């Protein structure tokens, strides 16, 4: 039987933190999945004739995704300021 040790928190460089909080490209960035979800939502709205009753829920979903991107952008800006110090 092989023992697997728990993953420990690793130090992160200021540049890596700035990259992590981005959405530009790469699966390692927290915002990438959020941006993809927004793009998928737009595609679904264009491609499918969705029933009207679903639209308010999708609008709330989109608002949450946009809020998540705004929070990540704010955190990224703060991380960039800290990295420049």
pLDDT of residue 12: 87
Instruction: Note whether 66 and 38 are within 8 A (CB).
Output: yes
In a domain, residue 3? The reply is no
Specify if 2 maps to a domain. Answer: no
- 7 occurs within a structural domain: no
Q: Looking at the 3D structure of the chain, how many domains does it have?
A: 1
Chain centroid, CA 20 distance in Å: 9
Q: Residue 83 corresponds to which tokens in the numbers above? A: 């990295």
Q: What pTM did the predictor assign? A: 0.80
Q: Which domain holds residue 36?
A: 14-84
pLDDT at 4: 77
Asked whether residue 5 is domain-assigned, the answer is: no
The predicted-structure confidence for 5-59, as pLDDT tens digits, reads as follows 788 888 888 888 888 888 876 677 889 999 999 999 999 999 999 999 999 999 9
Q: What is the pLDDT of residue 44?
A: 96
- On whether residue 61 sits in a domain, the answer given is yes
H-helix or E-strand containing 47?
Answer: helix 30-47
């Amino acid at each position: 039987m092989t023992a697997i040790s728990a993953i420990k928190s690793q130090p992160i460089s200021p540049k890596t933190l700035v990259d992590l909080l981005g959405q530009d490209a790469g699966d390692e960035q927290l915002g990438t999945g959020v941006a993809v979800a927004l793009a998928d939502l737009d595609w679904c709205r264009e491609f499918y004739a969705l029933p009207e009753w679903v639209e308010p829920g999708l609008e709330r979903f989109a608002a949450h995704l946009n809020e998540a991107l705004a929070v990540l952008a704010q955190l990224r800006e703060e991380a960039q300021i800290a990295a420049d110090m």
